[in-house]
Chains A and B, each alone.
Chain A
Amino acid sequence: MGPQHPSTHGVLRLVVTLDGENVVDVQPDIGYLHSSVERMMEYRTYLQNIALVDRGMDYLSAMANEEVWCLATERLAKIDVPERARYIRTIMLELTRISSHLIWLGTFGIDLGAVTAFLWAMRERERIMDLFESATGGRLHHVYFRIGGVYEDLPDGWTERCAEFCDYFLDRLPEYDELLTGNPIFLARTQGIGILPRDKAIAMGASGPVARASGIAYDVRKAHPYEVYDRVQFDVPVRQEGDCFARYLVRMEEMRQCVRIIRQCLEALPAGEIRAKVAVTLKVPKGEVYARTESPRGDLGIFLVGDGSDRPYRVKIRAPAFSNLYALTEMMRGWKVADVIAILGSIDIVLSDVDR
């Protein structure tokens, strides 16, 4: 199956071994989108790399990539981020999470034959893109975070518009419940399908919503708080079933929690500086650092080695989609061919993140 199958979300080839209609084994064949980001990063300065991680990694959640890169550099260079910038970053990260989950929701619906959900998800996402555009200038490719803060302050009236969006979005979410959660066709194709047991999820290194749907109550935002996640109240949704429907429910609940975080941040948004003084050609001291964040897809980490120059010596990216894709074989074994699409859609992979 693939690499150009309409439901593979990018270019992924799945070598599916079949016994009649039953799936005996699945081997994902990746590498079609490999762009050697890790190597390219060694040739760019720390500032230039922000523009690279945006599009070189997970392009549906660009801010999450900027965040993990800035976090790693700031930890290594020991730069303090002003309070206001931390809050702005948290708001942006949660908006990114909503927009990424909306894309997933839409494409998951399309995979299972519910086209309406895709168009509606795009409609909501457009509001987020407008918010991004007015604050950062870019819709997918923002280059908004800087080492030691953010580029520009929020424009006038942005916080009001963001609060307005939160209300609007919570109004719209029940529509998806009407459309998908109660839909018997959707239920029949997701409930009890593609079960990933808890122990297998741990063994395969699954993270993010995939792991949380298998009963692992682990979220980097709670376990290793960064930015202001230790100051805001939110719940980590966990389901025990481990099937496609559980992964769907976890993401739907996560979107509600995102709105909760954004509202708290907007309320507590302090005035003040948005950027620490950092040179354009920042020289980072010798040393190693590992920074991890909770991207919409899971545990996104960067291992960064600095050698005292203005370029990184080595960068290793731990991509959540890669590990989740690894668990795919475990999920698919024993199910029918028709379920392959549902299971593949439910793990929410971005091939750019898998191949890097």
Chain B
Amino acid sequence: MSAQIQTNGKKSLAEQAWQGAVGLVIGLKATLRTMFERKVTVSYPLQKVNVSPRWHGLLALPIDQETDNDKCIICFQCERVCPDRCIHIEATGKAKDRVLTRFDIEMDKCCYCGLCVEVCPTEAIVFVPHYEASTYNRANLLYDLEDLHRAAPKEPIATGIVKVRKQR
């Protein structure tokens, strides 16, 4: 069983060649036009693109200036809602004297879905616009309370001159 190729079947060789040349010129015209247009690429990591305010970056527990502590009220809602179960919270004390003793986020498991940010009643856990969390050691991806307070990647690999492109 062999199929028939119908394309250009009835056309002469000269016609095909002419068609090919026309198609080539049209294609090259478009390519040339783009060559002189403004470039849309940035040379990462020397240049970086701004991220939007809603960016799902790394998670953090920022320090509140008034109380000099994070806003976490230890309600365990984020731990429960997390689909990947990557948040681990432990606390000591009772009722109002409860103190956070452990707040670990396994950033390697995190799927950046943002459900923990959504359910948090006090906006204690938030997304920060950092996105270069790659490290050479997997253990660096376990973010403990101190890392989360600092709200920055532990050992960012990508460094360099940051020239930010205008947000479109």
Q: Could you mark each residue 26-54 of chain B with 1 if its beta carbon is under 8 Å from any beta carbon of chain A, else 0?
A: 11011100100000100000000001111
Q: Is the CB of B1 within 8 A of A22?
A: yes
Residues from 35 to 81 in B contacting A, C-beta threshold 8 Å: 40, 51-56, 77, 81
| Chain A proximity of B149: nearest CB distance (Å) | 22
21 A-B contact pairs sorted by A residue (CB < 8 Å): A51-B111, A52-B83, A116-B31, A126-B40, A127-B168, A130-B168, A133-B54, A133-B55, A134-B54, A137-B52, A138-B112, A138-B114, A141-B56, A143-B114, A179-B30, A183-B27, A185-B23, A191-B7, A192-B6, A280-B119, A334-B3
Extra A-B contacts (13), CB below 8 Å, given A55-B111, A123-B40:
A44-B83, A47-B115, A50-B113, A130-B52, A133-B52, A137-B54, A137-B127, A141-B111, A151-B118, A178-B27, A184-B8, A192-B5, A195-B3
- Interface size bracket, A side: 35 or more
Q: Is the CB of A333 within 8 A of B55?
A: no
Q: Is the CB of B81 within 8 A of A280?
A: yes
| Chain B proximity of A73: nearest CB distance (Å) | 15
Interface residues of B (CB under 8 A from A): 1-8, 16, 19-20, 22-23, 26-27, 29-31, 34, 40, 51-56, 77, 81, 83, 111-115, 118-119, 127, 168
Q: Which residues of B contact A175 (CB under 8 A)?
A: 30
Q: Which residues of A contact B54 (CB under 8 A)?
A: 133-137, 152, 155
Interface residues of A (CB under 8 A from B): 22, 24, 44-45, 47-52, 54-55, 116, 120, 123, 126-127, 130, 133-138, 141, 143, 151-152, 155, 161, 175, 178-179, 182-185, 187-188, 191-193, 195, 280, 333-335
Q: Which residues of B contact A143 (CB under 8 A)?
A: 113-115
State in angstroms the CA–CA spacing of A116 and B112 once bound together.
33
Q: Is the CB of B23 within 8 A of A183?
A: yes
State in angstroms the CA–CA spacing of A337 and B135 once bound together.
44
State in angstroms the CA–CA spacing of A133 and B127 once bound together.
13
Q: Is the CB of B7 within 8 A of A188?
A: yes
Of A184, A195, A280, most B-chain CB atoms within 10 Å: A184
Q: Is the CB of A184 within 8 A of B23?
A: yes
| Chain B proximity of A317: nearest CB distance (Å) | 17
Q: Is the CB of A48 within 8 A of B83?
A: yes
Q: Is the CB of A51 within 8 A of B83?
A: yes
Q: Which residues of B contact A24 (CB under 8 A)?
A: 1
Please give me the 9 A-B residue pairs with the lowest Cβ-Cβ distance, nearest first.
A51-B113, A48-B83, A137-B54, A134-B52, A137-B56, A143-B113, A192-B6, A334-B3, A191-B7
| Chain B proximity of A47: nearest CB distance (Å) | 7
Q: Which residues of A contact B34 (CB under 8 A)?
A: 120
State in angstroms the CA–CA spacing of A193 and B83 once bound together.
45
| Chain B proximity of A89: nearest CB distance (Å) | 17
Q: Which residues of A contact B4 (CB under 8 A)?
A: 192
State in angstroms the CA–CA spacing of A333 and B36 once bound together.
45
| Chain A proximity of B152: nearest CB distance (Å) | 19
Q: Which residue of B lies closest to A123 (CB)?
A: B40
State in angstroms the CA–CA spacing of A47 and B51 once bound together.
26
Q: Is the CB of B23 within 8 A of A182?
A: yes
| Chain A proximity of B168: nearest CB distance (Å) | 6
